Amino acid sequence: MTGPGGPGGPGEGGRPVALVTGAARGIGRAAALALAGAGYDVAINYSVSEDAAGQVADEARKLGAEEITLRADVADEAAVTAMVTAAADRFGRLDALVNNAGMTIDVPPSDLDELDLADWDRVFAVNVRGMFCVTRACVPLLRAAPSAAIVNTASIAGLRPGPQPFPYAASKAAVANLTRTLAGALGPAIRVNAVAPGWMEGDWMRARLGDDYQRLMERRARMTPLGRCVTAEDVAATIVSLVVSNPFVTGEVVVVDGGYSATT
């Protein structure tokens, strides 16, 4: 699905362009729409949720953005190359990349024997290799931008011990490390930062917590200085800030959890 204007038209010499991976739902959806509202045309990546991605595209157009939806498994290098080529053909430029695509599994860290190493490998393929593949493919376009930024979605689970499954937590720790390493490698042309959300309202945590979702989220909110749990829109606001502002900030992992991890 694309907006009017034809290949190479809207972004070239005009509005800046952002590619958001995993943009059909959650943080990716909120980030794509927040960037559209901030004046960016958006390339909306998804893996399986075609209808949801189309809805994001519709909403982005209502905000004045040109858009394109691009299906690609970020762990598949050939698919990533084709995705970035399609975005370049559509817009002719790329100013921002949000590496948000990610996955987890439902095996608790207390159950080591239940953890299938094939699941471990798949989580790392999407969360870590996928982030690197997309970044590497986008670097030539980003280097040509007047002010380029990358924002990766890490997690508080990658910064401190918690109840998240081992491969997810370890993969997000890798994202935090890669963010800092890439910042050194790609500066000064490209700034690279990450966001690390805490417990976030919505489907992701609902799937993790099951029937205890409401009770545990309310308990976390009571323990949080800002009095509630983070939302996808909160994280998106920080992503946009790192993209459009903070010109001398790179290599940082910004925790977005209302102060919970800083005070407990």
Q: Which pair of structure tokens corresponds to residue 17? A: 């362009």
Distance CA 99, CA 102 (A): 9
168 noted as active-site residue: yes
What dihedral angle (degrees, nearest 10) is formed by the CA atoms of 95, 96, 97, 100? Answer: -160
Among 40, 46, 168, 260, the active-site one is 168
CB atoms near residue 212 (< 10 Å): 10
Q: Which pair of structure tokens corresponds to residue 242? A: 């790192």
User: Dmax of the chain from CA atoms?
Assistant: 55
Element (H, E) at 215: helix 213-222
Residues annotated catalytic, as ranges: 168
